[in-house]
Structure 1
Amino acid sequence: MALPEEPSWDLYRTLLAVLEEGSLSGAARQLGMTQPTVGRQVETLERLLGVPLFTRSQLGLAPTDAARVLRPHAEQLRAAAAALSRAVGGSADEVRGSVRITAAEVIGIEVLPPILASLRDAHPGLELELVLSDRVQNLLQREADIAVRMVQPTQDALVVKRVGRIGLGLHARADYLARRGTPATMADLDGHALIGFDTEAPFIRLMQEDLPVHRGMFSLRTDSNLAQLAAIRAGFGIGFCQNALARRSGDVVRVLADHVALHLETCIVMHEDLRDVRRYRVVFDALVEGLSRHVDVT
């Protein structure tokens, strides 16, 4: 008996694009295809799998349960395909080809650019891909090659280098404090415009073990650390930011340093299969060296 035809990666890539864009036209733009081609590929995948993947609604294409189940597997296929492309981008002995780095927004925008610029100057054959997300990318599934992590990884099969602790504290712009007064105790924060989180992430829950902070006390709530930093620099009020970044700003002042002193453990991580490929090792070492200059600012 003939085996059923196995769906190709191209079909799963199309499925993922439709899931992400919510329409055939959006997926066509993302993939550089025509809308009818995308529609035919979805129909082909449905036929091969024997299940419907989308239903039409007033809001566009609605994924079925089968499509939602397939999505994380399609994302893994995409990550694996990208990793394969990067793997053949240079030999094991060359510092040439693509390296995909993931980091949190603040680190990626405020700290990494000069490190990456120096790295690229030293190794012009490198092609660097920077993924900024506060979601922890899965290195075991090769969503990225190297990660800057603010938590100690627990998975096996990873090379981990702890570079130190990044100090966090409460800060405000000097002219804000001149207008509103500088708090001397935690109780003095009452009446100040405070900047903080919107939802309780795991780090927030850990912070709450030592500090009596809650969502309702903030005048500006956002889960973007980058937006919080921008608000502090704009003089909105008092908020949390990395001490090194506050010092760099010049006009941002730390407050209540004796009462609020938090730290983020900082690690550089990569899959152990990459440790002997020179371009990954060079990027890994450059990140360790560069981030070491940023940590331990208390």
Structure 2
Amino acid sequence: MNTKPSETASDWERQRAFLAVMREGSLSAAARSLKIAQPTVRRRIEDLEREHGVVLFTRSPAGLLPTPIAMELAGHVEAMSKAAQSFARAASAEASSDAGTVRITASEVVGVEVLPAMLAELRRLHPGLVLELGLSNRSENLLDREADIAIRMVRPAQDALVAKHIGAVRLGLHAHRRFLDRHGRPETIEDVKRLGLIGFETETPGIRTLRASGLPFGAEDFIFRTDSDLGQLAAIRAGIGIGVCHIGLAARDPDLVHVLPDAFNMAFETWVVAHEDVQHVRRVRLVMDALIKGLTDYAE
């Protein structure tokens, strides 16, 4: 018997409810994320459990806990969700149009501190564009169409991706002026370690690239650790210690002082990347070209 369209749509709504509860941990939070009533989410989860004869969640003081079968199913529903989002972006406008949806992924600092001005100008020129911006230090999978365009600090290796190298984003050690007034200005890398370093908890591919280039310190040297780039930047601005920051970004703030420019001089080689198929879609090409120009200017 063929599945009716209404049944297929109903199945997807149930699966969306399941995925929302997996992500949010409670019916109420899932309902808010889906913008539907909590009883509707509960009913859809119960329908799934009844239809497949399984228990998907158990209650605990911390919320709803997924069962082993729910953990196994989650990956399949995540893949369906990504495919649905990719389909919606592709169907948002004709390929020849300068309107429609384009999803960009970038690191936290680049996405929050660098891209918005570029995207504002792009929207001024092409008001029909709808822009989605994913902030993550994880490289979203362009081959699976998790995003249309990625800003990457590690050279992509996949053959199906088109990558434009825009140059090196230079990095430097920076501290807030009041921190240096209080502790003195370091004269060596050992002074920096002694005064207090801000840095990461775990090594990302970008950090490993810097390690290979001679990064002179690791997590054991930090007095303030966070894997959030924005958290590190906030800590530098707050005067907690000395940390690594884009030189071009720090130059915008007169209270951030570049220290030891000769002793610490590193860079992230940067690429704007897209899947080879979507670069021929006009709206994607417009966004890609704008990012290439804007980031090239920023790197220089």
Instruction: Specify if TM > 0.5.
Output: yes
Q: Once structures 1 and 2 are overlaid, which stretch shifts more, 80-89 or 114-123? A: 80-89
- In the superposition, the TM-score normalised over structure 2's length comes to 0.90
Once residues 125 and 224 of structure 1 are traced to their aligned partners in structure 2, the CA distance between those partners, rounded to angstroms, is: 33
Within 5 A, what are the aligned runs for 1:44-63?
44-63=47-66
SS at match of 1:219: strand
Do residues 13 (structure 1) and 16 (structure 2) align? yes
Contact 1:229/1:241 (<8 A) preserved: yes
Contact 2:153 2:206 in 1 (8 A): no
| SS of equivalent to 1:248 | coil
Query: 1:1-298 to 2 correspondence within 5 Å?
Result: 8-209=11-212, 210-296=214-300
Specify the code of the residue in structure 1 equivalent to 2:20.
A
Q: Is the 2:202–2:227 contact (alpha carbons within 8 Å) kept by the matching residues of 1? A: yes
Q: What amino acid is the match of 1:154?
A: A
Amino acid at match of 1:204: I
**TM-score, normalized by length of structure 1?**
0.91
Q: Does 51-60 or 200-209 show the bigger shift?
A: 200-209
Matched letter for residue 291 of structure 2: L
Contact 1:148–1:269 at 8 Å: present in 2 too? yes
The aligned amino acid for 1:202 is P
**2:98–2:286: 8 Å Cα contact kept in structure 1?**
yes
SS at match of 1:294: helix
Kindly provide the amino acid, as one letter, of the partner of residue 288 in structure 2.
Answer: F
Deviation of residue 126 (structure 1)? Answer: 0.7
Structure 2: gaps of 5 or more residues = none
Distance in 1 of aligned mates of 2:202 and 2:92: 40
The structural deviation recorded for 1:208 is 3.7
Number of residue pairs the alignment of both structures matches: 295
Q: Distance in 1 between matches of 2:279 and 2:193?
A: 51
Distance 1:59 1:181, change over 3 A: closer
Q: Distance in 1 between matches of 2:61 and 2:176?
A: 48
Instruction: State the identity %.
Output: 53
CA RMSD of aligned residues (A): 2.1
Q: Contact (CA 8 Å) 1:76, 1:143: kept in 2 or not?
A: no
Distance 2:150 2:80 in 1: 20
Q: Is the 8 A contact 2:154 2:206 kept in 1?
A: no
